[in-house]
Amino acid sequence: MTQVLTPPKLRLLRVALDSKKSELIHEWLNTEDTDDSTPEAVDGCCRERKRGGAEIELLTRKAVLLGEIVEALRRFASGSYGLCTQCGSPISFRRLSDSPWEARCVACKDLKADTANAIMAQSAYAQPGGAV
């Protein structure tokens, strides 16, 4: 049974969203912007390339998360926060406590994952050398 999102619970979730948003923005603003033209930077280019790819991936994940948080805050403003964006069912407080930016209920999230897996499997099958 889904717990009702009472005003105190909604306040907790709103604070969590605002806090995470501020944290991500602070991290983004404090990301080092190095001068790649210095001899030290040029010399370490090869070593840094692998690490740089991981940093780009991390920044991309943070940017996606920030977007999800902004969308959750929009749902707060519209009064639809806590409802699944796909089916309209309530999302449990426990789920939102873990990930306040969550937009889907468990059933819809699982359905999306199952659909994505089926599409990937189908495309692998359709490619030359795919499963028979």
Residue 53 has a pLDDT of: 74
Question: Does 132 fall in a domain?
Answer: no
The CATH number of whichever domain residue 53 belongs to comes to: 1.20.120.910
pLDDT in tens, the chain (132 residues): 556 799 999 999 999 999 999 999 998 888 765 555 555 555 555 555 556 677 888 889 999 999 999 999 999 999 999 999 999 999 999 999 999 999 999 999 887 666 666 676 666 665 665 554
Residue 57 has a pLDDT of: 87
Question: Does 1 fall in a domain?
Answer: no
Total tally of structural domains belonging to the chain? 1
Question: Does 76 fall in a domain?
Answer: yes
Global pTM value = 0.70
Question: Does 63 fall in a domain?
Answer: yes
What does the DSSP 8-state code read for residue 15? Answer: H
Question: Does 131 fall in a domain?
Answer: no
Range of the domain at 53: 7-126
Among candidate residues 97, 75, 125, the one with its CA nearest the CA of residue 9: 97
- Strands in 1-132 per DSSP E: none
